[in-house]
Every structure is written in structure tokens, then in C-alpha cells.
Structure 1
Amino acid sequence: MIKKILLVLMLMVCASGADENTKKGEVDHMAIAIAMVYDGKYDTAKSELDLVDINSPELDRAKYYTIKGTLASKTNQHEQAVENFIKAIDETKKLVYVSPKEAQDKKRKYLFKIGSTSKVVQEIKIDPEFERNRQIKIERLYANLSQSYYKLKEYKKSVEALDLSGENGRNKSGLFAFRADCYWKVGEHSNAMEALNYGYKKFSDVQLLKQKYFYLSELKLYKAAVETAKVYIDKAGKKEDDYLYLAQMLIQAKQTEDAIMILEEGKMIFPSNPTFGLMLTNVYLKKEMPHTGATILENTANIDQKYLKDSVEAFRQVKDYSHALYLNLHVVDQKDNIKQKIAMHLERGEFEQITGLKDAMMRNGMHDDENMIYVLAYSYYMVGDYENAEIYLQLINDNDLFQKATIIRKNIEKCKVNPRECV
């Protein structure tokens, strides 16, 4: 929007006509500057503006400051943009109508401002078309001023300027979103909501509803946020992110059953998105329904294999080892595969199964993983293979594991002296 208004402003100042000096063959630096701004040649535009005689009584100051403000805005010099747009507004307000006949009179051609001591001031006439165009220029300048204030994070002033921009501040739904954003940033939440409500009533733009339910959720007004979100989804169409956000709000509002319903619906509508399954899993875990959560996670792993390892862990947690081991067969990463097998065998006291995995462990470079080496040594100890237990205990250097290894060594010595103690 800002680019469009800036372009309109430049075209309007161009259309205001060349100076008298231009007619005499002199260079119109402002016209060149406008063309350079339009072409994106900002350095050249600045150079041309620097050549303008700002003390000339013929200078159209409203045009001059408008161009300077536009250039500053384009080059992200927002403080200068604000300064120049304010000057442009003031100068535009001072302009008075001069008829074509008066413009030809050289004695009167300089009298363009209210407050002149010349007798011509008494002859000033009100021209409706002139006043209408003046107001249009002023309102567009306020629209640009609003944007520049926003860039400077002066949000209150941004809204004030927008209020003075007439239709330019009310003719698009996005301007009400912009206005609401400004109010929100200065903590005027009720004004932000009012702006969104008014904008939606005027334009029926569902994006304003979306912004509203975001704000309501930030205020932790979850019930109102959920109601608004449902209206938004109904009008805007079903989108993955909106379903997920609504479900998250319901979870935060402790409306778990509604959250499950939304997630289940989203899961059916968007079957290729694993996030619905992951969120459902977490919901069921919080409801202390881990087996249901594990089953949903398995279905999610069918959509995206990277969740297969987590699915195995979920079934291990509920002690459904047979199904966990079945799923483990499909875990591609061999290190993860073996570690999960070892964890399940260890929980079940199946030490011979662990020692049987020794070769697979070594093939997959797990001899550097001291935790796994300790488990292997411990398993050999538990099945009475003290010789292999000693071999792997000697590979341990980690302080905590070394202390545990020392205890096992002492037990092995006892077992060797009196095997009955190890029965």
C-alpha cells in the first residue's frame, strides 16, 4: 500500500506543473529527482534535490518536502521521512488557490501562501476543485507519515496520522489490521479488538478474524479465542495450521476432549501431516492413556518413518515388548535398532539375548560407546561368562561406569572363590 501511495504522490507533484524557470530553459531539478526516485536511483535523486534553491520565492515547498519525504522513506531514513512529510503537510495546508489569469500576472505569481501582506490576499477565492485536491494530497501525506512512524516504532503517532489520512486510512481491510497492530503494540488491547471488529464488519475479511483469535489467545481468553477460531475456519476454509493452532488453544484451555475432536478431524482431512498424530499422542499421554498414545504414534510413523524409533519407545514404555520388538525390526539405523533391542532385553532380564548381539554391536562401531560396553560386560557377568565380562570391563574409563565395573569385578572374584554365592 505504501509504495502505491508514494507513487501517487510523486505523480501528483509532477502533474502540478513545471516552474516558470523551466519554461525559460532552466533545469527542473525536482522533476528529475521524482523520475530518479521512480527508477530507484536514489543517490541521483538526492543529488538533484541538493541543487534545488530552497530560498527561491518560486519554490513549491509542498512538492519539495513531499519528494524529500518520499526519498527518505525509500532509503529507510524514517526520521527524515517523518520530518519532511510533516513539513509537506504544513506547506500544503498553506497553499491557496490562484486562478489561471492571476498566475499569468507576474506581480501575483509568488503569492501562493496564506499570510502574505500583499493586497492580492484580499482577492483570494475558494475553488472547490482546488480544495478537494489539496485535501487528497494532505490525506495521502498523512498515510505516508503513518507508515514512517510505524517504522520508528512510534505506534501511537502512527495511528494518529492514520486517523488523519481520511479514506486512505479506511479503504482497505489491511489498514484495520495495521491499526489493530499499532494499538496492540502499545497495550491498548480493547482498541485493537475494536479496530478488528469494525474492519471485519466493513470488509468481511477473514484475516481480521484470524488476527483477533491470535490476540485473544495471547490474552489467555481461550473460550472467546476458540469461538472466533471456529468461525474463522468455517469461513476461510480448512487449513492445517489453523486446525493445529485451534487444537493448541483448546489444550491450553484444558478443553481436552474438544482438542482431541479437532485433532482427529484434522488427521482425517490432512492424512499426510504427522503433526496431528504427534499432538494426539501427547494429549493421550497427559490423559494417562499411554497405550492409545503409542498406537497413534505407530500410525504417525507409517506417515513419516522418522517417528518409528519413538513409536518403539512408546510401546516399550507400556511394556508391550512383543509389539515394540516387531516395530524395531523396521528401524533402519542399526545403532538405534540395537540400542532399543538391548534396552528391552535388559528390562526383561534377557541377558543371553544381549550377549548374542555382541557381534552386531561391534560391526556397527559401538565399541566406543562405554554405556553399551558396560551393559554387555554386565550381561556376560549375569550369565556367568566371567572371562568375557572381564574383557569388556577393561575397556571402561568413564568415572561413574568405572566404579560400577569395580563392583562387578569384586563380585566376580567372590564368585570364583565361592560359586554358590553367585547362584
Structure 2
Amino acid sequence: MIKKILLVLMLMVCANSADENTKKGEVDHMAIAIAMVYDGKYDTAKSELDLVDINSPELDRAKYYTIKGTLASKTNQHEQAVENFIKAIDETKKLVYVSPKEAQDKKRKYLFKIGSTSKVVQEIKIDPEFERNRQIKIERLYANLSQSYYKLKEYKKSVEALDLSGENGRNKSGLFAFRADCYWKVGEHSNAMEALNYGYKKFSDVQLLKQKYFYLSELKLYKAAVETAKVYIDKAGKKEDDYLYLAQMLIQAKQTEDAIMILEEGKMIFPSNPTFGLMLTNVYLKKEMPHTGATILENTANIDQKYLKDSVEAFRQVKDYSHALYLNLHVVDQKDNIKQKIAMHLERGEFEQITGLKDAMMRNGMHDDENMIYVLAYSYYMVGDYENAEIYLQLINDNDLFQKATIIRKNIEKCKVNPRECV
């Protein structure tokens, strides 16, 4: 929107650029500057503007400051843009209508006769077309000023300038989203909501509803946010992100059953998106329904294999070891595969199964993992293979594990002296 307005402003000032200087063969630096801005040659445009005689009584100051403001805006010099747009507005307000006949009369330049002490009475003419064009220019300048204030994070001034831009500040739904954003950033939440409501009533743009339910969510007004979000989804069509955001709001509002319903619906509509399954899993875990959560996570792993490891862990947590071991067969990363097996065998006291994994552990470079080495040594100890237990205990250097290894060594010595103590 701002680019279009800037272009219109440049075209408007271009329309009057062929002045008397051009007729005399003089270079019209402002006209060249406008062309350079339009072509994106901003350095050249600035150089041309620097050549403009700002003290000339014939200078069109409104046009000059408009170009300077536009150039500053294009080059992200927003403070200069604000300064020049304000000057352009002031100069545009000062413009006086001059008829074509009067404009051709080179001698009528002043309101006072030279060499006379008496004032010349000059009738101020009002031309409706001239006034209408003046107002259009002023309103477009205010629209540009609003954007520049926004870039400077002067949001209150941005809204004030937008309000003065006439239809330029009200002729698109996005301008009400922009206005609401400014109000929101200065903490005027009710004004932000009012802007969105007015904009939606005028344009029926569902994006304004989306912005509204975001704001309501930030204010923790979850009930109102959910109601608005449902209206938005109904009108805008079903989109993954909207379903997920709505479900998250319902969870935050502790409306768990509604959240489950939305996630289940989203899961059916968007079967290739694993996020619905992950969120459902977390909801069921919070509801202390871990087996249901594990089952959903398994289904999610069928969509995306990277969640298979988590699925194994979920079934291990609910002590469904047989199914966890079945899923573990499909875990591709061998280190993860072996660690999960060891964890399940350890929980079940299946120490011989752990010692049977020794070769697989070594093949996959787990001899550097002292936690796994300790578990292997402990398993050898538990099955009575003290010799292998000693071999792997000697590989431990970690302080905490070393202390545990020392206790095992003492127990091994006792067992060797009196095997009955280890039965």
C-alpha cells in the first residue's frame, strides 16, 4: 500500500515538473530526481536534489519536500522522511490557486507593487478542483507519514497520521489491521479490538478475525478467543496452523475435552501432519491416560519415523515391554536401539539378555559410554560372571560410577570368599 501511494505522489509531482526553467533550457533537477527514485537510483536522486536552489522564489516547496520524504523513506531514513513529509504537508496547505492566465503573466509575482507603499488588493480565488486535489495530496502525505512513524516505533503518532489520511487510511482492510497493531503496541487493547471489529464489519476480511483471536489469547480471554477462532476457521476454511493454535488455546483454557475433539478432527483432516498426534499424546498423558497416549504416539511414528524412538519409550513407561520391544526392532539407529533394549531388560531384571548384547555394544562404539559399560559390568556381576564384571569395571573413570564400581568390587570379593552370601 505504501509503495503505491509513494508512486502516486511521485507521478502527481511529475505532472507539473515542466516549468519555466525547462522552457529556458535549464535542467529540472527535481524532475530528474523523481525519475531516479522511480528507477531505484537513490544516490543519483539525492545528488540531483542537492542541486536544487532551495532559495528560489519559484521553487515548488511542496513538491520538493515530497520528493525528499519519499527518497528518505525508500532509503530507510525514517526520521528524515517524517521531517520532510511534515514540511510537504505544511507547504501543500499554503498553496494558493493561480489560474492558467495568471501563471503566464511573468510580471505578477508579488502581492505588492514595487516602488509603492500601498498594498495591492488581490482577490483570493477558490477553485473546487484545486482544493480537491490539494486535499488528496495532503491525505496521501499523511498516509506516508503514518508509515514512517510506524518504522520509528512511534505507534501513537502513526495512528494519528493515519486518521488524517482520509480514505487512504480506511479504504483497505489491512489498514484496520495496521491501526489495531499500533494500538496494541501502545497498550490500548480496547481500541485495537474496536479497529478490528470496525474493519471486519466493513470488509468481512477473515484475517481481521484471526488477528482478533490472537489478541484475545494474549489477554488470556480464552473463551472469547476460542469462539472467535471457531468463527474464523468456519469462514476461512480449514488450515492446519489454525486447528493447532485453537487446540493450544483450549488446552491453556483447561478445556481438555474440546481440545481433544479439535485435535482428533485436525488429525483426520490433515493425516500427514504428526503435530496433531504429538499434541494428543501430551493431552492424554496429562489426563493420566498414558497407554492411550502411547498408542497415539505409535500412530504418529507411522507418519514420521523420527518419533519411533519416543513411541518405544512411551510403551516402556506403561510397562508394555513386549510391544515396546516389537517397536524397538524398527529403530534404525543402532545405539538408540541397543540402549532401549538394555533399559527394558534392566527394568525386568533380565541381566543375561544384557550380557548377550555385549558384542553389539562394542560393534557400535559404546565402549566409550561409561554408563553403558557400568550396566554391562553390573549385569555380569548379577549373573555371577565376576571375571567379566572386573574387566568392565576397570574401564570406569567417572567419579560417581567409580564409587558404585568400588561397592560392586567389594561385593565380588565377599562372594568369592562365601558364595552363599551372593545367592
Q: TM-score, normalised by structure 2?
A: 0.98
Within 2, Cα distance between the matches of 1:278 and 1:149? 43
Does the 8 Å CA contact 1:57/1:110 hold for their aligned counterparts? Answer: no
The Cα of 1:112 is off from its aligned counterpart by 14
What are the Cα deviations for residues 253-289 of structure 1, in whole angstroms up to 9, with x where unaligned? 0000000000000000000000000000000000000
Name the residue aligned to 1:326.
Answer: 326
CA distance 1:116–1:7, change in 2 (3 Å): farther
Does the 8 Å CA contact 2:68/2:84 hold for their aligned counterparts? Answer: yes
What are the Cα deviations for residues 58-106 of structure 1, in whole angstroms up to 9, with x where unaligned? 0000000000000000000000000000000000000010001111111
The Cα of 1:117 is off from its aligned counterpart by 11
SS at match of 2:309: helix
SS at match of 1:119: coil
CA distance 1:19–1:317, change in 2 (3 Å): same
The Cα of 1:151 is off from its aligned counterpart by 0.2
What are the Cα deviations for residues 390-419 of structure 1, in whole angstroms up to 9, with x where unaligned? 000000000000000000000000000000
Within 2, Cα distance between the matches of 1:258 and 1:285? 16
Within 2, Cα distance between the matches of 1:317 and 1:117? 103
The Cα of 1:17 is off from its aligned counterpart by 3.8
Within 2, Cα distance between the matches of 1:154 and 1:93? 24
Within 2, Cα distance between the matches of 1:183 and 1:161? 13
Within 2, Cα distance between the matches of 1:355 and 1:116? 118
Within 1, Cα distance between the matches of 2:351 and 2:143? 76
The Cα of 1:123 is off from its aligned counterpart by 1.6
CA distance 1:268–1:249, change in 2 (3 Å): same
CA distance 1:91–1:41, change in 2 (3 Å): same
CA distance 1:389–1:113, change in 2 (3 Å): farther
The Cα of 1:18 is off from its aligned counterpart by 1.9
Within 1, Cα distance between the matches of 2:113 and 2:249? 59
101-110 vs 165-174, which deviates more? 101-110
Does the 8 Å CA contact 1:95/1:112 hold for their aligned counterparts? Answer: no
Does the 8 Å CA contact 2:373/2:396 hold for their aligned counterparts? Answer: yes
Aligned length: 423
CA distance 1:328–1:109, change in 2 (3 Å): same
The Cα of 1:22 is off from its aligned counterpart by 1.3
What are the Cα deviations for residues 36-64 of structure 1, in whole angstroms up to 9, with x where unaligned? 00000000000000000000000000000
The Cα of 1:19 is off from its aligned counterpart by 2.2
SS at match of 2:122: helix
CA distance 1:105–1:347, change in 2 (3 Å): same
Gaps of 5+ in 2: none
Does the 8 Å CA contact 1:97/1:130 hold for their aligned counterparts? Answer: yes
CA distance 1:266–1:112, change in 2 (3 Å): farther
CA distance 1:216–1:275, change in 2 (3 Å): same
Does the 8 Å CA contact 2:183/2:192 hold for their aligned counterparts? Answer: yes
Within 2, Cα distance between the matches of 1:110 and 1:40? 39
The Cα of 1:116 is off from its aligned counterpart by 15
CA distance 1:121–1:348, change in 2 (3 Å): farther
Does the 8 Å CA contact 1:373/1:396 hold for their aligned counterparts? Answer: yes
The Cα of 1:109 is off from its aligned counterpart by 4.4
CA distance 1:371–1:365, change in 2 (3 Å): same
The Cα of 1:107 is off from its aligned counterpart by 2.4
What are the Cα deviations for residues 108-150 of structure 1, in whole angstroms up to 9, with x where unaligned? 2467999999966632210000000000000000000000000
Within 1, Cα distance between the matches of 2:362 and 2:236? 57
Does the 8 Å CA contact 2:112/2:118 hold for their aligned counterparts? Answer: no
15-24 vs 227-236, which deviates more? 15-24
Within 2, Cα distance between the matches of 1:368 and 1:19? 85
Percent identity at matched positions? 100
Does the 8 Å CA contact 2:217/2:225 hold for their aligned counterparts? Answer: yes
Within 1, Cα distance between the matches of 2:110 and 2:204? 50
Does the 8 Å CA contact 1:69/1:85 hold for their aligned counterparts? Answer: yes
What pairs up with 1:118-129 in 2 under 5 angstroms?
122-129=122-129
CA distance 1:383–1:111, change in 2 (3 Å): farther
CA distance 1:369–1:154, change in 2 (3 Å): same
Does the 8 Å CA contact 1:338/1:361 hold for their aligned counterparts? Answer: yes
What are the Cα deviations for residues 180-208 of structure 1, in whole angstroms up to 9, with x where unaligned? 00000000000000000000000000000
